[in-house]
């Protein structure tokens, strides 16, 4: 926060409310308070008595309390201004008043607030907290995905990237490969999971404490911390901040302000990057991406032919049948690992014998699929049930779910797409969406129990 900009902003608010500007002593008191000076030091700067300074200050705090609608004191002035600044940035682009910096209120062109510069005598020390980065002993190449992510992060300096995909598809594994290749470009790196933090406040406090290392003065907000150094934050399990059993997009009460924070990170000027990993893609992140703010999302797909390396490591036989097996299980590495174990156990590694059974076998995939199915709303479950049984009727799934309005049906489809549970058909048909065979088989088995 630039002190002179803060004083000017405050003076403008006072003038708008009272028709009078702050006196020179009032401005000196404001400046001294923001510089953490005592009343004695302020009085010395202004060449007046300490008692007089305290009396004018008391009147000033009462005036500002009336103007700003807050209980302003010397002890909380700085924190309140920082909070107002943060809320203003979070609401950038709305009707909210922008606060600090050279700002033309209500104009079409809005400048970002000036942030206080932290001085450092020595080059910044690198702090890389990699203690919670998962270990993988078998990583499969995703060269194209890695190149895309590196382009966004290193070349385009994207502030916010979301990596989405079904549980077990390889998001975390890809992020660990990415981290190995780009970590030297960052002064600060931290990897955490949302599951560790029951509330947004605990998450923010934890991150700010990490960024405060060797920093004097320490950052007061996460946004301020992101400006201090080139930093990379990787947060896994974003879906755990979202409310289950509703359409995708509603944050849990404990994370109710998360959308505003993510918007601020995307819009505030800094050289850092937040990488989110999630089963689901919240609509507010899709909105940021559509605003062309160098915010991106990458939906992770199966391994494709490279999954042959996985099957080879499992010692499976009948190599000519491997591509068929990969296709049936969508190249999903976790699914293939589990099914490969079943093939070894039940068929002595013979893929041909396993594929001879016409019904798609799920086995130990059921608990994994059930975790995601349990998060669905009743509307989404109804739509998936109809998509899983296209042969039951000649009407489209939309017509079959006759209790749903057009809006409800399309909202459910949109939500299922953001959960990565349905796919678009390559060619337009009566219904352009379909379930992957594994998901379809799971829904059929659920409906028959």
pLDDT category, 139, cuts 50, 70, 90?
confident
User: Is residue 101 pLDDT above 50, yes or no?
Assistant: no
> What tokens appear for 438 in the block?
């594994």
User: Is residue 154 pLDDT above 90, yes or no?
Assistant: yes
> What tokens appear for 231 in the block?
């930093």
Assign a CATH topology to domain 128-299: Rossmann fold (3.40.50)
- Tell me the mean pLDDT in the region 252-269: 92
DSSP secondary-structure letter at 251? B
- Range with lowest mean pLDDT among 32-46, 49-63, 156-170, 365-379: 32-46
- Tell me the mean pLDDT in the region 163-175: 95
Query: Which of 109 and 443 is assigned the larger pLDDT?
Result: 443
- Tell me the mean pLDDT in the region 339-355: 97
Rg (CA), the chain: 28
- Tell me the mean pLDDT in the region 419-444: 84
What is the maximal distance between C-alpha atoms in the chain? 95
Whole-number mean pLDDT of the chain? 85
Contact 365, 338 (CB under 8 A): yes
User: Is residue 119 pLDDT above 70, yes or no?
Assistant: no
User: DSSP letter string over 189-234?
Assistant: EEEEEGGG-SSHHHHHHHHHHHHTTT-SSPPSSHHHHHHHS-EEEE
User: Is residue 111 pLDDT above 70, yes or no?
Assistant: no
Give me the pLDDT at residue 124, please. 67
Give me the pLDDT at residue 113, please. 42
Instruction: Please give the angle made by the CA atoms of 262, 267 and 270, to the nearest 5 degrees.
Output: 100
252 — phi, psi (to 5°)?
A: -60, 150
Percentage with pLDDT > 90 across the chain:
56
User: Is residue 432 pLDDT above 90, yes or no?
Assistant: no
Q: What is the dihedral of CA 71, 74, 76, 80, to 10 degrees?
A: 70
pLDDT category, 134, cuts 50, 70, 90?
very high
Give me the pLDDT at residue 427, please. 66
Contact 133, 179 (CB under 8 A): yes
Give me the pLDDT at residue 430, please. 62
- Tell me the mean pLDDT in the region 166-184: 95
> What tokens appear for 17 in the block?
């409310």
pLDDT category, 53, cuts 50, 70, 90?
confident
230 — phi, psi (to 5°)?
A: -70, 110
Q: For 391-412, what is each residue's pLDDT tens digit?
A: 654 455 554 456 788 899 999 9
pLDDT category, 250, cuts 50, 70, 90?
very high
Query: Which of 284 and 182 is assigned the larger pLDDT?
Result: 182
Give me the pLDDT at residue 109, please. 30
pLDDT category, 26, cuts 50, 70, 90?
confident
Q: Where are the domains of the chain?
A: 3-90, 128-299, 304-361, 368-447
How far is 29 from 37, CA to CA, in rounded Å? 9
- Tell me the mean pLDDT in the region 73-82: 85
Q: For 351-374, what is each residue's pLDDT tens digit?
A: 999 999 989 999 999 999 999 999
pLDDT category, 102, cuts 50, 70, 90?
very low
User: Is residue 193 pLDDT above 80, yes or no?
Assistant: yes
- Tell me the mean pLDDT in the region 266-271: 87
User: Is residue 311 pLDDT above 80, yes or no?
Assistant: yes
Q: For 214-225, what is each residue's pLDDT tens digit?
A: 888 888 889 889
How far is 316 from 296, CA to CA, in rounded Å? 38
How far is 239 from 244, CA to CA, in rounded Å? 9
Q: pTM, whole model, 2 decimals?
A: 0.71
Contact 189, 130 (CB under 8 A): yes
267, 194, 182: which is closest to 230 by C-alpha?
Answer: 182
User: Is residue 253 pLDDT above 80, yes or no?
Assistant: yes
């Amino acid at each position: 926060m630039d002190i002179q900009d803060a004083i000017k902003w405050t003076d403008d608010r006072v003038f708008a409310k009272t028709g009078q500007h702050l006196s020179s002593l009032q401005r000196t008191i404001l400046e001294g308070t923001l510089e953490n000076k005592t009343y004695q030091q302020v009085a010395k700067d202004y060449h007046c008595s300490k008692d007089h300074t305290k009396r004018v200050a008391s009147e000033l705090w009462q005036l500002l309390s009336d103007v700003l609608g807050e209980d302003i004191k010397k002890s909380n002035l700085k924190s309140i201004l920082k909070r107002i600044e943060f809320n203003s940035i979070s609401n950038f682009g709305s009707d909210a008043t922008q606060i600090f910096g050279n700002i033309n209120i209500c104009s079409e062109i809005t400048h970002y607030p000036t942030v206080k510069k932290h001085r450092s005598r020595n080059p910044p020390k690198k702090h890389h907290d990699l203690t919670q980065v998962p270990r993988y002993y078998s990583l499969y190449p995703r060269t194209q995905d890695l190149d895309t992510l590196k382009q966004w992060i290193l070349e385009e300096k994207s502030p916010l990237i979301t990596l989405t995909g079904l549980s077990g598809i390889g998001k975390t594994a890809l992020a660990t490969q990415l981290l190995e290749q780009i970590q030297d470009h960052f002064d600060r790196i931290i990897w955490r999971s949302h599951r560790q933090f029951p509330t947004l406040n605990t998450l923010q406090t934890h991150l700010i404490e990490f960024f405060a290392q060797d920093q004097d003065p320490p950052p007061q907000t996460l946004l301020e911390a992101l400006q201090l150094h080139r930093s990379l934050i990787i947060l896994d399990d974003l879906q755990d901040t979202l409310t289950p059993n509703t359409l995708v997009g509603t944050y849990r009460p404990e994370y109710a302000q998360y959308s505003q924070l993510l918007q601020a990170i995307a819009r505030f000027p800094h050289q850092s990057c937040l990488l989110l990993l999630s089963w689901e893609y919240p609509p507010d992140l899709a909105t940021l991406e559509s605003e062309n703010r160098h915010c991106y999302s990458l939906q992770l797909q199966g391994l494709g032919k490279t999954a042959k390396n996985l099957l080879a490591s499992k010692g499976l036989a009948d190599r000519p049948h491997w591509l068929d097996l990969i296709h049936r299980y969508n190249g999903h590495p976790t699914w293939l690992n589990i099914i490969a174990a079943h093939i070894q156990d039940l068929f002595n590694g013979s893929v041909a014998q396993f594929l001879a059974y016409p019904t798609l076998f799920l086995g130990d995939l059921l608990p994994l699929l059930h975790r995601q199915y349990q998060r669905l709303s009743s509307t989404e479950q109804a739509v998936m049930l109809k998509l899983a049984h296209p042969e039951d009727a000649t009407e489209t799934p939309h017509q079959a779910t006759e209790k749903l309005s057009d809006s409800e049906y399309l909202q459910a489809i949109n939500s299922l797409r953001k959960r990565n549970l349905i796919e678009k058909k390559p060619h337009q048909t009566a219904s352009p969406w379909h379930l992957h065979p594994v998901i379809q088989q799971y829904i059929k088995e659920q409906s028959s129990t």
